[in-house]
Amino acid sequence: MTEATSLSSLDNESYFQMVANEDLRGETVVYSTEAYTRALRRASLKLVGRDPSAEELTSIQNDKAKYSEVIQSYLDSEDFLRQMKIFFQGNFEMKGMENGVNLDEPTNLALHLIKSDRDFREILTSKDCYSNDLKPIPCSSFSSLKDQEEQASGALTTQAFLKKWSSPFNFRRTSKAFQLFTCGQYPDATDRGLEPAQISSRVKEFNCTTCAPACYTCHRSMNSSAALFYSYDRNGKFNRSPSSAVATRTDTGQISTLSDVLADNVTPEYHGEKLEALKDYGHQLSRSRKFRDCLTQRMVSLMLGTSPTEPVPASMQIVRDRLSWNGFRVKNLLLEIVTHPSFIKREEI
């Protein structure tokens, strides 16, 4: 007997109708109790880090609405937040304290947004920072609340992110932000970027179009966003006049300035939009389809146990497309994933 069968041939002794769905042929189908048991076990392990209880398993066998109710109870639990903390610490590649910097700053913001059921695009636009117990605190990257109010851009401007990924010309900050929030790698094929004459060749041939590989291919986009990070020193502090000890460096250890990455009088831009500050870049990324697709991809890969670089399966792309309608709320996204037929029918745990 198959996992899904037409209503007309349903064996009531072997199957219990939990949820009726439309398959790709438009035929109404129901799934076996075993399928829902596997789905609940898979969801439980990922969302709360344990097997479902006997009571939870029994409840889904007796009431078709209970599967979603049990999932919702997971999403509202402290165990779920602990699992999300582990996930985002891995995603951001940092945790704990290091040289006086709380490397959980980006994760704490993510957890606050999830717990409060807020729009997750605020991970790139929020003006607030949070302690490990998710209480609002001043952002350590800013010396004044005025600067924080005017310049903060979510995880991008946390001291943890800025210090962790400090590098010559700010290129690691740039590439890591692009990887984390768009699931992409340079070159950014969707951005026409700057013209060669707008990119500096004072220190390196960043604007070279005849090199092999052509430096310009990546740097037409990279240099704009890298330039925006020059307002933050190597200690991860907002600092437009850094001392030589903390200023951005070149790859040879010399002090670097904006003129190393951009030609004189050039304003950074992304997708044709002028960017005056790092927060402008954060806001633009948050509005992009790439951010939407990346967030969905990461949550789907978490729940399916697939590689985080694997695109969303075609059968689940409706979950991605509904993310804007759902207000970019992570709990809603996860609920849609684990109640989707592709998740329920999946045999692996």
Residue 64 confidence (pLDDT): 62
Q: What separation, in Å, do the N-terminal and C-terminal C-alpha atoms of the chain show?
A: 20
Q: What is the pLDDT of residues 147-200, one digit of tens each?
A: 999 999 999 999 999 999 999 999 999 999 999 999 999 999 899 999 999 999
Letter string b/e over residues 40-52, b meaning 16 or more CB atoms within 10 A of that residue's CB: bbbbbbbbbeeeb
Rounded Cα–Cα distance for residues 331 and 129 (Å): 21
**Mean pLDDT value of segment 311-337:** 95
Lowest mean pLDDT among 60-74, 82-96, 221-235: 60-74
Please provide the size of the chain in residues. 349
In the 8-state DSSP scheme, what is residue 243? Answer: -
Would you say residue 119 has pLDDT above 50?
A: yes
Strands (E), the chain: 4-6, 21-22, 28-31, 97-98, 101-102, 129-130, 136-137, 269-270, 273-274
pTM to 2 decimal places: 0.90
Nearest Cα neighbor of 289 from 259, 324, 250, 260 is: 324
pLDDT digits (tens, 9 = 90+) for 176-185: 999 999 999 9
259 pLDDT higher than 70: yes
Question: Domain limits of the chain?
Answer: 4-79, 166-272
Distant-in-sequence, close-in-space partners of 208: CB < 8 Å, separation ≥ 6: 201, 214, 215, 216
Distance between CA 47 and CA 272 in Å, rounded?
Answer: 40
HSE-CB of 270 using CA atoms within 13 angstroms: 27
Q: How far is CA 99 from CA 129, 181, 336, in A?
A: 19, 26, 40
Quote the CA–CA distance of 170 and 261 in Å, as a whole number: 10
What phi and psi values does residue 199 have, to the nearest 5 degrees? -105, 135
| Contacts for 26 with CB less than 8 Å, ≥ 6 apart | none
The whole-chain average pLDDT of the chain stands at 91
- Per-residue model confidence as pLDDT tens digits over 198-256: 999 999 999 999 998 899 999 999 999 999 999 999 999 999 999 999 999 999 999 99
